Structure 1
């Protein structure tokens, strides 16, 4: 297998913080309606841009306070053709918003230039992440996701990050598309309470399949949108685990189905979540990225950074 040619040049930091829990925080804690779970429409107003910039600035400030690097994730998780169309956005508008998102991130990074910062273009699945009804082939996924990636490579983005993916073929398509555009890429799978992808594939099978189909082009793999208790038992000292370098966890122990039905936010226990993530990193010290997904806010991120820094 080839070396990981898609590896982006790491910033000078042994730990990178990543935060993708903004949407649940906006909906449940700030009372902001997000049709289609899309945050990129906030880019269309001055107030919305201020809100988005606030999250980015808060994460960088946390990085500065705790001596960690940060990965800024763009608000473009569902800014692809099908999911955009479902809430009234045409491809041309989506292209502009994808590019505006990165421009906003560059602006914030420039304003806080003393913190090691990576700009990541966040790509989400074409269908429901937790129960995809129509799974694409790898070729279909490459064609589909190439549209969003093509818009983003014309910006100052550092890496493409495919988040909350539920099956290997879609991940393969994203990696192939990124490789064709010669941009680094990260793949993050989500898992159910049994530690397997929503489609029943194990993490090991998914990672091995993606690497085999793409000559190991992905910079690394991550796990997101699941509580550590959902996947801790399937992590093991095998070669595939060396490819997992990031965990961006949910605050709640609930299943995806339970979270979808929830009328109130389950923000879990920030201290407990941080300790569980640090315990995993202690077992697997090659893990470099830690962060929060659904149900988390800056309280959780602060505890994660603090616990990681204080860990022996």
Structure 2
């Protein structure tokens, strides 16, 4: 599948939405589900401000921007946990794309894309109970269908390859470009134990290369930088790193937010552009916020922050 990106453009996306809402805003976010804010007037206003804050940085630095829908948790299992049945999830997933399209209108001079974000069926920190690829395709197909007005779908925090393959196959059936983002433990392996490069190569082999590109998210650069040696590295075009160097298990047990070292994170991103020659999409994950985005961009852009 060809990439939906303009290959002459570097793109910014957002940072750690859920950790920003919980730890900085003090919101009670059930099951870490940000999509519920779309059903609240003040919640929608907060999301609007959040996306604009990030898109403004991209605009100021001559970068493109990818609007990622706040739908990481809006799948059947997590939706049911916060009181959304299948029909309610269809509605909210469609509304999430419409919501971003309205914001996008104010950034017509900036290269932009709207992405329907898909999260794992289970815990984003653990592989847990794993589905076969066919089951994963059936599980995620309805959410992908609800993203029909998006430019692409992005599956973040994939912990094992079969779920990623299933999402890719479901997206192909819907004729929707798809991005797969794996997470890693501190040893550069997926939570399932599979090496990152092997997971990318297997996913490509089982989908005939349908995935537009791959990303890494929800891991600190120090966790996976040593795992990038191989031809598969050319398939990684995006990075949304964690602020903290802590492991997933340590983060899960933490009661306070570790924002790490924002300037050092920016330097890590710059270094990774050397190891990953196709790296063109930059954002953040757990613990990051607009401060980290500024430091990342300052390392990538000649325009001063």
- Does residue 67 (structure 1) correspond to residue 59 (structure 2)? The answer is no
Rounded to whole Å, the distance in 2 between the matches of 1:149 and 1:120 is: 11
Q: Which residue of 1 aligns with 2:267?
A: 275
Alignment TM-score, normalising by the size of structure 1: 0.95
Deviation at 1:62, TM superposition (A): 0.4
Give the structure, 1 or 2, with the largest relative contact order (CA under 8 Å, sep 6 or more).
Answer: 1
- Does residue 132 (structure 1) correspond to residue 133 (structure 2)? The answer is no
Deviation at 1:261, TM superposition (A): 1.1
- Does residue 266 (structure 1) correspond to residue 261 (structure 2)? The answer is no
Q: Which residue of 2 aligns with 1:222?
A: 215
For 1:143-201, what per-residue CA distance to the aligned partner results, in whole angstroms no more than 9, with x for missing partners?
A: 00001111111x2x101000000000000000000000001000000000111000100
Find 2:178's aligned residue among 160, 166, 185: 185
Deviation at 1:129, TM superposition (A): 1.7
- Please tell me whether the aligned partners of residues 68 and 305 of structure 1 are also in contact (alpha carbons under 8 angstroms): no
- Does residue 37 (structure 1) correspond to residue 39 (structure 2)? The answer is no
Find 2:80's aligned residue among 74, 85, 97: 85
- Please tell me whether the aligned partners of residues 123 and 161 of structure 1 are also in contact (alpha carbons under 8 angstroms): yes
Alignment TM-score, normalising by the size of structure 2: 0.97
Rounded to whole Å, the distance in 2 between the matches of 1:175 and 1:10 is: 17
Q: Which residue of 2 aligns with 1:10?
A: 5
Residue aligned with 2:301, SS: helix
Deviation at 1:10, TM superposition (A): 1.9
- Please tell me whether the aligned partners of residues 196 and 202 of structure 1 are also in contact (alpha carbons under 8 angstroms): yes
Stretches of structure 2 lacking an aligned partner (at least 5 in a row) = none
Q: Which residue of 2 aligns with 1:242?
A: 234
Moved more, 91-100 or 302-311: 302-311
Deviation at 1:217, TM superposition (A): 0.2
Rounded to whole Å, the distance in 2 between the matches of 1:12 and 1:116 is: 11
Residue aligned with 2:297, SS: helix
- Does residue 173 (structure 1) correspond to residue 166 (structure 2)? The answer is yes
Considering only aligned residues, what root-mean-square deviation do their CA atoms show, in Å? 1.3
Rounded to whole Å, the distance in 2 between the matches of 1:306 and 1:13 is: 19
Stretches of structure 1 lacking an aligned partner (at least 5 in a row) = none
For 1:107-157, what per-residue CA distance to the aligned partner results, in whole angstroms no more than 9, with x for missing partners?
A: 00002211111111100000112223210000000000001111111x2x1
Q: Which residue of 1 aligns with 2:249?
A: 257
For 1:80-133, what per-residue CA distance to the aligned partner results, in whole angstroms no more than 9, with x for missing partners?
A: 001111121101001111111111100000022111111111000001122232
- Please tell me whether the aligned partners of residues 228 and 275 of structure 2 are also in contact (alpha carbons under 8 angstroms): no
Count of aligned positions: 303
Deviation at 1:64, TM superposition (A): 1.1
